[in-house]
Structure 1
């Protein structure tokens, strides 16, 4: 028997043995014990290969009938059928689920626009100076493509065809290459627009908009940790990820740039600027049109224009005029009660007024002197003289010091950028303009409209689907075959998710009817766990469930059990969802049911074994655990953005 089969059989035997050990004698069973038996049977049935959605529905219907039969056998069948209809109708009327087919359709259209090859090539050349540049480019490409698609299988398969052979040809370790492809492809589980977050939001009753905002920085953090690991590994063990030879870093130059470089020009900006001036004079550059120089100079100046627009927008924001006279009135440090005080109260302060604000780094006095003392009367004019005058209502505020410091730093970096901006880097920049920036605009349009409240997830998904079609048309890939394949794959994926929701809804209702949720809650509360201990226990259980089960099954089956327990421990469901989304990537990176490993194995060269792919996944699983700990220790990583925008 194969090792995978031994593992599966052993795991199922442990589950059945645990049920037999903890369950009482059959004569002492209650409805709650039937619920726990149903939960164990569903896990075993899924591991045996039965379809998840229909197994959930079948188990839910059978045990719902048992629950109703225990109460009133005469109407048990009618009540069970009514429950099925009500639960299916509730899923059909869930507006949140409408965004799933639209996001999936957007992902399939972007996947078929053939942008990923150009994106990987341009990022590979742009990051050639970094240790492990091919693996880093693979991870960055996966992160960007996952943001545009959110489909793990598509990203892993495409990068397995494109980046994995390139890394092997460059002498990269098989395990490191496999780990980079599989871990990068799984970023679509966490980074918005993630289908997992939509499913969790619909299951837990949490705003999908806030989940998207909260998952943004954890996704960037996890990507950064992956990249840092690759760079350190390549630096410490060059044999694992050797630097690229100069021949693979070479960028072919067009005729105009080649002519200028042959004439002694080194940097793009002065070369095209001077060439533009000479071309305007006419006779000295009759062979090159003024329009050619103008186009190249315009591309060269794009980074400076982008920086000018961003800094100008920021300047407008920080110098916005004062809205009203009330903003000029200094409020005391008394908190929310003082902030709601009337103007009359502020003009006539009590006898013991609070201490005024002190500048940063200055020690506050131990006690304020009486309001009618000479010291106070003498100090008041001085304080008023030292304080900067507040701007009048409608007048623009002066820009703060940090803005000018930031502007100076940006100008220095921009000058260094143009000093290093050679003709080869200009060609790489053009490649990024053709591959990265269209995707970036699509991502900003979709996620920006959601995060800043301009559109609901469903509306933004519709805009994203239109944007995906426009991108496919711009790259001349929008034809009947592409649209047909995208629609069929979208229908299959959406049907799977919706049937899972129907099965989960019936299963959860049966579990609640049998009292299984109450039994689990009673058992957890009897342990007298602290919130920290409960959070650790829940995440460990989810981590272990990720080994035999996929994320859809964990969200659909087990989240309805965990969510009602959160109120007892004072845990925010939004924060819990971010931890779960970060944790559930183990479902695609942990053997034996690591789907990303099988996606990669299906397109990898024959000499690459499944064990090598599994071995390459293990360091990235460790990084996920580190990221999970960092998110728990510093919850602001996930909660700062939704708190700043919505709370």
Structure 2
């Protein structure tokens, strides 16, 4: 059997196992271990073993559970809920103010958590019922929560970028910095879209009455102080890192410690909060560690049979694609896969092929792999919310109030998908949108 046929058989086996409902890490790891055993004999069992030590020797992996812990303790202790109440009071008089404030909330939660799950949970449980009660259009606000929560995998500390950095062997700090401007650009586009829709059709988002916001100034200021606390945690954590006082791992420890102290100061650090935070942190962290381990083992086998060179010959020598055409083909494949797979499954599948290939391409960009990591992460955002199998679509259905149907959820998301695709196109046409901030911080 040729190496090309072996590569296709590995991919087909992996996808077949995924279609049976097996967990992603189990499907990928099984194919990797089985292929290593069949190709290299009994010595092939060392490949998954070596991948384990490669993973555990990578020091920045310590950031993964610390950032996840930080996000969940802020969520479980109710500090994130205070943030929404602050936005509700201070932006409620603006046309579409609650929807725009919800987008801002999603950005802040993204900066605290790095996952879309927390933003989706808080937005569905707190923001949606409040806006529905005040007469907001259910399709508009459903799209706002879904689109805004997807920002969690782009704005630092992005856990997906940590995964990409591990597999691509790129500095996570550079990836995070590269995601800031595209993430804020996307959030701004969302807010402008909501503002324009409400200006054209005010019935979509009625302005709140004085009775809705009847609150003494003293209480408003107290609520403002409560809402500022998450801002302080984020800027304290990232400020020390950007200024060079802390390393990446130390910065994650600062964030986790600051979040715990904040919960204690607000008298919300109970055993229930600690137990739920620890349980959820352990579950998410273990899932990601198993995924990375499976991806490393799969990559080792895949690279060993020369599949990367075969794809390079196919794209560049047989199809005669230019480097930029090759990148566009990769992005198109990401979008198609995103309709059926989540972000981690996509990364595991394409990492053995695309990451080495991008390193070989001559795009004339300094920081080429950082730029490609941002493109990949932005495409993952579309994967989260694109029918038929977008993860956030089904999560929203389970968390949203009963008056929001699956049809409403599907209708709500297309404007945000279009805005995300437009942002991806802008970053492809103008790479400095992603590369300017890392270059400025590092002095390049």
Is the aligned partner of 1:217 residue 2:170? no
Q: 1:99 aligns with which of 49, 57, 63?
A: 63
TM-score by length of 2: 0.95
1:626 Cα shift?
1.0
Where does residue 450 of structure 1 map in the other structure?
A: 241
CA contact (8 A) 2:298 2:352 kept: no
Where does residue 259 of structure 1 map in the other structure?
A: none
**Structure whose CA Rg is larger:** 1
Structure with the higher fraction of residues in helix conformation: 2
Q: 2:264 aligns with which of 451, 473, 483?
A: 473
Alignment of 1:363-402 (within 5 A): none
Where does residue 206 of structure 2 map in the other structure?
A: 242
Is the aligned partner of 1:617 residue 2:405? no
Q: 1:536 aligns with which of 307, 312, 328?
A: 328
CA contact (8 A) 1:136 1:230 kept: yes
CA contact (8 A) 2:316 2:322 kept: no
* Range that drifts further, 473-482 or 238-247: 238-247
1:167 Cα shift?
1.4
1:453 Cα shift?
2.6
1:206 Cα shift?
1.0
**Aligned equivalents of 1:210 and 1:598: distance in 2?**
32
**Aligned equivalents of 1:450 and 1:547: distance in 2?**
36
Q: 1:628 aligns with which of 413, 424, 427?
A: 424
Where does residue 161 of structure 1 map in the other structure?
A: 125
**Aligned equivalents of 1:248 and 1:122: distance in 2?**
14
Give structure 2 stretches of 5+ with no counterpart: none
Is the aligned partner of 1:194 residue 2:158? yes
Is the aligned partner of 1:600 residue 2:396? yes
Where does residue 561 of structure 1 map in the other structure?
A: 353
Taking only aligned residues, the RMSD between alpha carbons, in angstroms, comes to: 1.6
SS at match of 2:340: coil
Where does residue 55 of structure 1 map in the other structure?
A: 27
**Aligned equivalents of 2:398 and 2:144: distance in 1?**
16
**Aligned equivalents of 1:453 and 1:542: distance in 2?**
35
Where does residue 439 of structure 1 map in the other structure?
A: 230
Is the aligned partner of 1:514 residue 2:305? yes
CA contact (8 A) 2:80 2:109 kept: yes
Where does residue 275 of structure 1 map in the other structure?
A: none
**Aligned equivalents of 1:441 and 1:116: distance in 2?**
13
TM-score by length of 1: 0.66
Where does residue 257 of structure 1 map in the other structure?
A: none
SS at match of 2:246: coil
CA contact (8 A) 1:547 1:587 kept: yes
**Aligned equivalents of 1:516 and 1:253: distance in 2?**
66
SS at match of 1:615: helix
CA contact (8 A) 2:167 2:296 kept: no
1:91 Cα shift?
1.1
Moved over 6 A (4+): none
Is the aligned partner of 1:550 residue 2:346? no
**Aligned equivalents of 1:528 and 1:218: distance in 2?**
31
SS at match of 1:239: helix
SS at match of 1:45: helix
Paired residues, number:
438
Deviations 1:58-112 (CA, angstroms, capped at 9, x unpaired) = 10111122222xxxxxxx11x1122221111111211121110111111111112
**Aligned equivalents of 1:600 and 1:645: distance in 2?**
37
CA contact (8 A) 2:109 2:118 kept: no
Deviations 1:28-54 (CA, angstroms, capped at 9, x unpaired) = x41221112211321232233111111
